[in-house]
Amino acid sequence: MKQMRQETLRRIISLVLLVVLIAVFTFTTDTFLSWDNITSMLRECGVVGILAIGITTCIITGGNNLSAGLMLGMVCMVFAHLYHYTALSLIAIILICLLAALAAGAFNGFAVAILQIPDFVATLSTGMVFQGITYILAIRNQYGSITSEMIKNPTMALLGGKLGNGIYYVTIAWVVISLIMQVFLKKTKMGTYIYAMGSNRKSAEYSGISFIKVKMVAFLISALCSFIGALFFLGRYGTNDVDSGSALSLQAISASVIGGAAFSGGRGDMIGTLIGVLFMQVLRNGVLKFNMTTAQQSIISGVIIVLMLVFDAYYNEFMQKRTARAAALAREKEGAGK
């Protein structure tokens, strides 16, 4: 019998978790399945979901990107700074922000691919750099919190808006980018190389695939996601608080893991991450309706993530041992038959 792939089983588990959670909240509260609640949940998914797209890509290469959220914070702050203290046009500001994000992404890529620093450590430190820049550009507002100046621009505010019937633009962007990235990962050469590099770096390199190129591409994609996320973030809130970034990273990483991305690399995809983001959001939303605290909700998602990691760590080993035992028993029989 053929063993079921880790991916397949993980997909089933995450879908079942999501469906169970939705079912529980639907039957225990009146408001969960209301149109308003659904659209607002999907809105909450948007920015985290967009970040998770980039982070999942990095995780598939066998790495990670802890700096994605902090990079988003930095881009917001660069935007606010330019908006208030220069006379640049909106287009110019957006372009500069894009360049800043790509430069930051290339910096991540440089640290990981060329300096060969492990992704975790590298992006932990680059994240600190991004946060430092965010602080430099930040101001203290009249309530005493360290934040950016309020951006009151009608074009930007549009990004925070919604289509007539209630679906927010950020939700649409999240789903569309996810689908584009899914096609990229599964149908293009670079997509295949991203999986190959994460799954077995040596063999990918022996096949002539460049480690540096693959890592660079992954971090640039992630930077692009941070940039797009930042625009939607500003569109909604008009401002950015210096501490929001790291929380976003952690939520996005959690969503990736719940969706099936494995830290060991080579596994995960955008559909899984989409499910993971939805799961995190439904949990949060439903729990709020139950008047559970954030602490309780953190514990639930933390425990689920640990279980997923344990599953990833042992599933393949377990299956291999089982196959080896079956083969050995068969060999015994063969021997006895002689």
Q: Does 206 bind other proteins (CB under 8 A)?
A: yes
Q: Does 188 bind other proteins (CB under 8 A)?
A: yes
Q: Does 200 bind other proteins (CB under 8 A)?
A: yes
Q: Of these, 86, 99, 296, 331, which contacts other proteins (CB under 8 A)?
A: 331
From 160-168, 195-203, 251-259, 306-314, give the range in contact with other proteins by CB under 8 A.
195-203
Q: Of these, 204, 220, 248, 278, which contacts other proteins (CB under 8 A)?
A: 204
CA 46 to chain centre: 11
Q: Does 213 bind other proteins (CB under 8 A)?
A: no
Q: Does 266 bind other proteins (CB under 8 A)?
A: yes
CA distance 334 to 338: 7
CA distance 302 to 185: 28
- The interface with other proteins within residues 75-114 (CB under 8 A) comprises none
From 144-152, 187-195, 223-231, 270-278, give the range in contact with other proteins by CB under 8 A.
187-195
CA distance 75 to 86: 16
* Residue 161 Rama label (left phi>0; alpha psi -120 to 50; beta): beta
Name the residue nearer to other proteins (CB basis): 61 or 239: 61
Q: Does 187 bind other proteins (CB under 8 A)?
A: yes
* Residue 22 Rama label (left phi>0; alpha psi -120 to 50; beta): alpha
If you write DSSP's letter for every residue of 145-180 in order, what string do you get? -EEPPP---HHHHHHT-B-TTS-BHHHHHHHHHHHH
Name the residue nearer to other proteins (CB basis): 266 or 272: 266
- The interface with other proteins within residues 288-327 (CB under 8 A) comprises 316, 323-325, 327
In one-letter notation, the amino acid at residue 250 is L
DSSP-derived 3-state class of residue 136: helix
Q: Contact positions toward other proteins, by CB under 8 A?
A: 2-3, 5-7, 187-190, 192, 195-196, 198-200, 202-204, 206-209, 266-267, 316, 323-325, 327-332, 334-335
